[in-house]
């Protein structure tokens, strides 16, 4: 018989013990600003609407079409440790946070740590 020598599959798991996307996303949780947990940065590369006081150059939130946009933004912003995504004021918003201390239950929201993000898009 021919022995292919191929035994055992490689495990698929995210770094730091975080489950792979999207299993690492926690449903029905929002991370509130609560006066202390927001990351205020220039978010104009991610969104031009839905920002704090309509100023996307210094905001902890922006409108995003998909939670993956929010997750990737958090991974690219050094101060961001957690993110939340859900509906606010009739728009789908991404919240950027430096802790998960503002955690609350909220129907329809998603929250996750920085490590929880979709795989990078391949370079076109």
Over residues 1-15, the pLDDT tens digits come to: 554 444 443 444 444
The residue to which tokens 């918003």 are assigned: 93
The pTM (predicted TM-score) of the whole model is 0.81
Question: Rounded distance, CA 103 to CA 14, Å?
Answer: 23
Q: List, as one string, the DSSP characters of 99-114.
A: -STTEEEEEEEEEEET
pLDDT of 75 strictly over 60: yes
Alpha helices in 11-122 (DSSP H): 67-76
Confidence band of 100 (pLDDT split at 50, 70, 90): very high
Measured from the Cβ of residue 37, the count of other Cβ atoms closer than 10 Å reads: 20
Question: For 27-67, how does the pLDDT look when each residue is reduced to its tens digit (9 = 90+)?
Answer: 999 999 988 999 999 999 999 999 999 999 999 999 999 99
pLDDT at 98 over 50: yes
């Amino acid at each position: 018989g021919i022995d292919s020598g191929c035994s055992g599959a490689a495990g698929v798991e995210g770094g730091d013990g975080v489950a792979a996307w999207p299993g690492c996303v926690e449903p029905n949780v929002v991370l509130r600003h609560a006066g202390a947990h927001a990351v205020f940065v220039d978010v104009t590369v991610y969104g031009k609407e839905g920002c704090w006081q309509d100023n996307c150059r210094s905001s902890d939130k922006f409108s995003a079409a998909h939670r993956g946009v929010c997750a990737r933004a958090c991974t690219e912003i050094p101060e961001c440790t957690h993110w939340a995504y859900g509906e606010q004021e009739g728009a789908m918003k991404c919240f950027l946070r430096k802790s998960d201390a503002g955690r609350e239950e909220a129907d329809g929201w998603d929250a996750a740590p920085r490590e929880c993000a979709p795989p990078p898009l391949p370079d076109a």
